[in-house]
């Protein structure tokens, strides 16, 4: 495992290292299988189009999983993801890369825990941010 | 929101807000955690590799943050059959985590409707249904909660 930030290392405006994901229809089928979400709009193009969609679309929860990975990759095993929220304001189709990004918005201490709030989001190739989100993580301190 | 839909929404709010789903129990299996991690293409050793995960403070594999989506509670399957909004989209999700989820855990998920409201969207009139799911482990500890907004249109 690599090196991960301590609470002292981050400040407001610190960027979370980006994560690029390459969703495919194959991934949507696998995700349907492991999550139990078999709604056909995620893997049956004819069905998706019959509901007025342009084609199959990503499960919203898969984009949540991508944002969770963005954060857990960043904080490493010493950090704790405490809160993660996001909104699915647009639909993403497989076959194009998505980039997950984040930035620190606040750092503070509460109940003895060293906390960091972040704004996170998923961007498509055109730079559209269809999945805005927010997170709170607990980071270790150098003092221990 | 048109005045036509208001009584129908009010009726929905009356019948569903506060309503709880029957508890759904999920036994957390190591293979399921790994399959989930592979499906989301997240190679983190914490959810893929027991030997590596043992070297961490967790002492072994844990589930990735969104894994509990797999504990599928019954939603509003008993919506009236003539309910006019047949199509469904996920509007968003808000997780709060309290305890790690480990292989062998027995998670009980209960879903409660917290809000229902109409909104006009790109795809026509929509109804937003907000539910909160509480995931409790076999020790009676709340491992996580998830607030989810589903959109019917």
**What ipTM was reported for this prediction?**
0.96
Which of B33, B47, B69 would you mutate first to test chain A, the one with the most A CBs within 10 A?
Answer: B69
Query: How much is the pLDDT for B85?
Result: 82
Name the residue of chain A whose CA is nearest to B59's CA: A77
Query: How much is the pLDDT for B71?
Result: 95
The pair of three-digit structure tokens given for residue A57, joined into one six-digit string: 């679309």
C-alpha span between B7 and B5 (Å, rounded): 6
Residue B107: count other Cβ atoms within 10 Å of its Cβ.
21
Q: Do B115 and B149 contact (CB within 8 A), yes or no?
A: no
Mean pLDDT is lowest, of A2-16, B4-18, B84-98, for: B4-18
A72 touches chain B (CB under 8 A): yes
CA-angle at A39, arms to A41 and B34, nearest 5°: 110
Could you read off the pLDDT of B13-59 as tens digits, one per residue? 998 999 999 999 999 999 999 999 999 999 999 999 999 999 999 99
The DSSP bridge pattern shows strands B124-136 and A113-123 to be unpaired
The DSSP bridge pattern shows strands A98-110 and B24-27 to be unpaired
Q: Does B95 contact A64 at a Cβ distance shorter than 8 Å?
A: yes
C-alpha span between A24 and B128 (Å, rounded): 28
Q: Do B107 and B100 contact (CB within 8 A), yes or no?
A: no
Residue B3 pLDDT class (50, 70, 90 cuts): very low
Residue B121 pLDDT class (50, 70, 90 cuts): confident
A51 touches chain B (CB under 8 A): yes
Over residues A59-79, mean pLDDT: 98
A138 touches chain B (CB under 8 A): no
Mean pLDDT is lowest, of A66-75, B67-76, B109-118, for: B67-76
Query: How much is the pLDDT for B1?
Result: 45
Residue B110 pLDDT class (50, 70, 90 cuts): very high
Q: Which residues of A touch B91 (CB under 8 A)?
A: 60, 87-88
For residue B5, pLDDT over 90 is answered with no
For residue B76, pLDDT over 70 is answered with no
Please report, for chain B, the start and end positions of each structural domain, with discontinuous segments joined by +. Answer: 6-28+71-152
Residue A33: count other Cβ atoms within 10 Å of its Cβ.
15
- Tell me the domains of chain A and their CATH numbers: 7-138 (3.10.129.10)
Sign of the Cα torsion B124, B111, A133, A28 reads negative
How far lies B142's CA from each of A19, A76, B25, B95, B145, in Å?
30, 23, 14, 12, 8
Give the one of B46, B72, B93 whose C-beta lies nearest to A85's C-beta.
Answer: B93
The pair of three-digit structure tokens given for residue B61, joined into one six-digit string: 């594999």
Instruction: Kindly report the CATH number that applies to the domain delimited by B6-28+71-152.
Output: 3.10.129.10
């Amino acid at each position: 495992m690599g090196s991960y930030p301590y609470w002292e290392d981050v400040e407001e405006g610190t960027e979370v290292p980006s994560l690029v994901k390459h969703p495919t229809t194959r991934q949507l089928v696998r995700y349907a299988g492991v999550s139990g979400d078999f709604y056909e709009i995620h893997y049956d193009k004819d069905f998706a189009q019959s509901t007025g969609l342009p084609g199959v679309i990503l499960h919203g929860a898969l984009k949540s999983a991508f944002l969770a990975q963005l954060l857990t990759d960043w904080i490493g095993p010493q950090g704790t993801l405490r809160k993660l929220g996001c909104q699915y304001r647009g639909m993403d189709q497989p076959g194009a890369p998505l980039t997950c990004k984040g930035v620190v918005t606040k750092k503070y201490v509460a109940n003895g825990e060293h906390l960091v709030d972040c704004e996170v989001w998923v961007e498509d190739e055109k730079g559209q941010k269809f999945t805005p989100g927010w997170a709170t993580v607990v980071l270790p301190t150098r003092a221990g | 929101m048109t005045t036509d839909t208001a009584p129908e929404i009010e009726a929905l709010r009356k019948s569903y807000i506060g309503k709880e789903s029957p508890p759904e129990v999920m036994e957390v299996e190591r293979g399921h955690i790994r399959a989930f991690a592979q499906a989301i293409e997240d190679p983190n050793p914490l959810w893929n590799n027991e030997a590596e995960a043992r070297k961490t403070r967790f002492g072994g594999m844990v589930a990735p943050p969104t894994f509990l989506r797999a504990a599928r509670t019954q939603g509003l399957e008993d919506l009236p059959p003539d309910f006019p909004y047949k199509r469904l989209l996920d509007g968003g999700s808000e997780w709060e985590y309290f305890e790690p989820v480990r292989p062998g855990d027995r998670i009980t998920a209960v879903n409660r409707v917290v809000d229902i409201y109409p909104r006009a969207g790109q795809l026509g009139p929509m109804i937003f249904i907000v539910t909160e799911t509480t995931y409790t482990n076999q020790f009676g500890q709340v491992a996580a909660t998830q607030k989810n907004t589903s959109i019917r249109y």
